[in-house]
Structure 1
Amino acid sequence: MSTFSRTFITRSLTAVVFVAIMLMGFLLNRYSFLILFILIAAGCMVEYQQLMHLVMVRFSKSKEVEKPNPVQRIAMWLGVSGILLMGVGGALPAHSLRIDVIGFDVLMISFVLIPLSELFIGSFRWVSVLFSLIGCLYVGLAPAFMIYFRWQEVNKDVQWIPVIIIGCVWVNDTMAYLTGSLLGKHKLWPAVSPGKTWEGTLGGLLCTVALSFAASWMWPLFNRWHWMSIALLVGISGTLGDLLESGWKRMAGVKDSGRLMPGHGGMLDRFDSLLVATPIVWLYVHVWMFR
């Protein structure tokens, strides 16, 4: 069997398993959805910490960064846990147990521990603190907002926004790849992502918005302009999320963020667009759709 055939079979089997797990998490019930995005957040956090440690080692002349800071890593896990609790609590009725308040307290404890952890190792590096604080928000916000949408009890239509976001990300990525392969000539940002072109990016964006327009007729959950606005925001912010993760991988000197999914890289490679797009959509929903 040729190398190409083995690679194709590996990628195909991984994709089937990945899609099956995602569908089961989405469609079973809201608890399976919660577990799914807790696992996604955990996988992304592991890979983010690995990437940022490689970046620090590569660009620092100090031997102190050769070993990860365990206190800081634990504090980051606390931060993401707090954000996830806020996502669950924010969707529950006001008279229920205020899980969101508990989550906020845990997040604040994390934000205090992260800079203190630098003092525990005998030094203080603002870059390490900044990467850690950013990591809590980067990894935690999107899963928390996904959970928030899915667990909504007041407006049931909002529960479908995670499906719309995932669909828009998939359409945008697929059509950008196809359009770029056929028509791509002008590189978007070759220093960060050599394969991306302006033609592919615009093609993916236009196809995503056009499909959302068609979906708004068949599935009139919201005003048609809300459908198209969400698709536009996902297309733009999802591309930026892809470029952001590609930049971090180049800084770390690695091709993939992890090896969890053979042939597809790691969790960050699969969810980089989602991590940036979801908070943008949440902001749009609260500012424009239900003000």
Structure 2
Amino acid sequence: MALQFSSFKTRSLTAIVFAMVMLVGMLWNKWSFLVLLTIIHFGCWWEYLQLSKKIFTTKFQAYTQLGLMVMGYGIMLCFCRSVFQINGYGLKDNFSLPVSAAGFAILIVGIFQQKQIQLKAFGMALLGLIYISVSLGFLIHLYG
């Protein structure tokens, strides 16, 4: 396959911009790091669910998708250290459980709105909690 200069130029510029955004997010302060991981978390969940739909040829109800994402975000917040505080309220202590509970409630609503649930696809979606949310939680635990 021949090298296409216009495609190479576009991809190179995109990679440079992406690297700059990643470096700013990681090195600026703790909140930019949290925002960066939040964006990565929801983006990873979106792609993971899209791949699950293609693999199992199924559809996830919108509330099911949102519930999994929010519940996973709550799990990710469980790994925050005491560095992440807003006016003395720690994210781990005060926000992770309510966010996880809200995600679980949205997930239950989504499950009951679906006509049929494919157990394999739903099981794979639940494994995403470990694959995405816990692994990003470990990463956020390293900060501070």
TM-score bracket relative to the smaller structure:
0.7 to 0.9
**Which secondary structure does the structure 2 equivalent of 1:81 belong to?**
helix
d(CA) in 2 for partners of 1:119, 1:78: 17
Structure 1 position 21, deviation (Å): 0.8
Match of 2:91 in 1: 99
Given the two structures, how large is their TM-score scaled by the length of structure 2? 0.79
> Is the CA contact (8 Å cut-off) linking 1:114 and 1:132 kept in structure 2?
no
Summarize the alignment of residues 73-88 of structure 1 with structure 2, pairs less than 5 Å apart. 73-88=65-80
Structure 1 position 3, deviation (Å): 5.6
1:201-260 deviations in whole A, cap 9, x for unaligned? xxxxxxxxxxxxxxxxxxxxxxxxxxxxxxxxxxxxxxxxxxxxxxxxxxxxxxxxxxxx
Runs of 4+ off more than 6 Å: none
Alignment equivalent of 2:115, drawn from 115, 122, 130: 122
Taking structure 1 as reference, are residues 129 and 108 closer, same or farther at Cα in structure 2, changes over 3 Å only?
farther
Summarize the alignment of residues 136-285 of structure 1 with structure 2, pairs less than 5 Å apart. 136-150=129-143, 152=144
The CA RMSD over aligned residues, in Å, is: 2.5
Taking structure 1 as reference, are residues 111 and 127 closer, same or farther at Cα in structure 2, changes over 3 Å only?
farther
Structure 1 position 83, deviation (Å): 1.6
Taking structure 1 as reference, are residues 50 and 100 closer, same or farther at Cα in structure 2, changes over 3 Å only?
same
* Residue 18 (str. 1) matches residue 25 (str. 2): no
Identity score, percent: 26
d(CA) in 2 for partners of 1:110, 1:17: 33
Structure 2 portions without partners, runs of 5+: none
Match of 1:135 in 2: 128
Length, aligned pairs only: 138
Counterpart residue identity of residue 125, structure 1: Q
Counterpart residue identity of residue 125, structure 2: S
Match of 1:41 in 2: 41
Structure 1 position 98, deviation (Å): 5.0
Structure 1 portions without partners, runs of 5+: 58-64, 153-291
**Which secondary structure does the structure 1 equivalent of 2:131 belong to?**
helix
Structure 1 position 24, deviation (Å): 0.8
> Is the CA contact (8 Å cut-off) linking 2:41 and 2:73 kept in structure 1?
no
Bigger mean CA deviation after superposition, 99-108 or 128-137: 99-108
Counterpart residue identity of residue 61, structure 2: N
> Is the CA contact (8 Å cut-off) linking 1:79 and 1:110 kept in structure 2?
yes
Structure 1 position 56, deviation (Å): 2.0
d(CA) in 2 for partners of 1:138, 1:78: 15
Taking structure 1 as reference, are residues 118 and 125 closer, same or farther at Cα in structure 2, changes over 3 Å only?
farther
* Residue 71 (str. 1) matches residue 67 (str. 2): no
**Which secondary structure does the structure 1 equivalent of 2:89 belong to?**
coil
d(CA) in 2 for partners of 1:8, 1:133: 38
> Is the CA contact (8 Å cut-off) linking 2:66 and 2:106 kept in structure 1?
no
Counterpart residue identity of residue 92, structure 1: S
**Which secondary structure does the structure 1 equivalent of 2:79 belong to?**
helix
